[in-house]
A = this chain, B = another copy of it.
């Protein structure tokens, strides 16, 4: 910067003004400085600026696993939105480790972060104190409930309810559910499971524990295993609500491996509308959670907090809670709604 100033015959401060688009700089001076900058290939030193301003322009996106399409897509959208707001994104997969999540919030790297977007998986309601950190924090998804933190939620209960209801409308009466986390009460699994149960109740179907297949993780292999377990037990069913698309994909695979047809013998509905879901055979009917909105909203709230503004132009600065609405995507893994069923609802 000093060199630039010398070459342009002005002071360092003037160079700074030009670089920061300060408006009261004469055109002549500005041109001189810009030429010098160009000639010397000067770029501002981000660290020095950071040291002075206290902002790094970097945020962390803390997620369970980048290899899950849901999170890959979310990351992609968050990075994109970050670009729009001039924020760089460090993606931190915690790989299903409680320790990893705590490290991500409290590790030494937070001193280089302007904020964190956190999708908790292992931390639960008891860990609210872990969320008390020095930089702005926005929660996405579900699992931890506290009124003190900005939170962009997805419609888990409503989405699963809709999925289950739709199966009913297509004529299914013995509907299994895949991927439940027994004992959990605030995570995506618990909420989606709750939606399933609420739908059964509304449809007047009895809840049958035999139709419930737990799965700790939600990879495709877990869907294969859970489905095989049900089939091995000879459980009678004509529909499956998988708590995410990968489970659904695995289940579809397992069913077809037995020579059964989807949706002929068993219908399947997933959750997430991952990019793959449309290319499975048969293409998967699923619930789209509105990830674009999650990415956009969470990023904007964080940016507002970083800048010290009230988030989303709310009149007061209290923690935001927004629920992004989901939608049903009908494809080929379910039968068409029956007339009779339609009337029933």
Q: Which residues of A contact B (CB under 8 A)?
A: 43-48, 50-51, 56-58, 65-67, 69, 72-73, 75-76, 79-80, 88-93, 108-112, 219-221, 224, 246, 249-250, 252-253, 256-257, 275-276, 278-281, 283
Chain B residues, Cβ within 8 Å of A220: 275-276, 278-279
Q: Chain B CB within 10 Å — which of A58, A66, A73, A278 has the most?
A: A66
Indicate if the CB atoms of B50 and A47 lie closer than 8 Å. yes
A116 to chain B, nearest CB (A): 13
Question: CB-CB < 8 A to A75: which residues of B?
Answer: 66, 91
- Complex Cα–Cα for A111 and B46 (A): 6
Closest B residue by C-beta to A55: B47
Q: Let me know if A79 and B51 touch, CB within 8 A.
A: no
Q: Judge whether B76 and A67 touch: CB under 8 Å.
A: yes
**A275 contacts across to B, CB distance below 8 A:** 67, 219-220
The 7 residue pairs across chains A and B that have the minimum distance between CB atoms: A46-B112, A47-B50, A220-B279, A72-B72, A47-B51, A66-B76, A46-B111
- Chain B residues with CB under 8 A of A67: 69, 72-73, 76, 275
Q: What are 14 A-B residue pairs whose CB atoms fall within 8 Å in the complex?
A: A45-B51, A46-B56, A46-B109, A47-B47, A47-B51, A66-B75, A66-B79, A67-B69, A76-B93, A79-B93, A90-B90, A220-B279, A253-B279, A257-B281
- Give A88's nearest chain B residue, CB to CB: B90
